[in-house]
Amino acid sequence: THKLGAFKTSMLQDVEARKPIELDALVGAVRELGQLTGVATPCTDALMGLARLQARGLGLY
């Protein structure tokens, strides 16, 4: 594996900065592609639901 050093995703950076997260753009796009192509995305759907709950609780969604 390669070492990335001190790396933070853009969503984590937004959470730490108390900015609204781009959940629909990042995760919703995967769900939408699944729907358009007839591919089930149960793990992505669950992730979206959990992330939405967490973000709402923090006032970031």
Q: Is residue 4 one of the residues assigned to a domain?
A: no
Query: What pLDDT is attached to residue 6?
Result: 83
3-state secondary structure of 9: coil
Predicted TM-score of the model (pTM): 0.76
Q: Is residue 1 one of the residues assigned to a domain?
A: no
Q: Is residue 2 one of the residues assigned to a domain?
A: no
Q: For 9-51, how does the pLDDT look when each residue is reduced to its tens digit (9 = 90+)?
A: 999 999 999 999 999 999 999 999 999 999 999 999 999 999 9
CA-nearest of 19, 12, 1, 6 to 60 is 19
CA-nearest of 7, 23, 27 to 15 is 23
Range of the domain at 32: 10-57
Q: Characterise 16 by phi-psi region: left (phi > 0), alpha (psi -120 to 50), beta (else).
A: alpha
Q: Is residue 50 one of the residues assigned to a domain?
A: yes
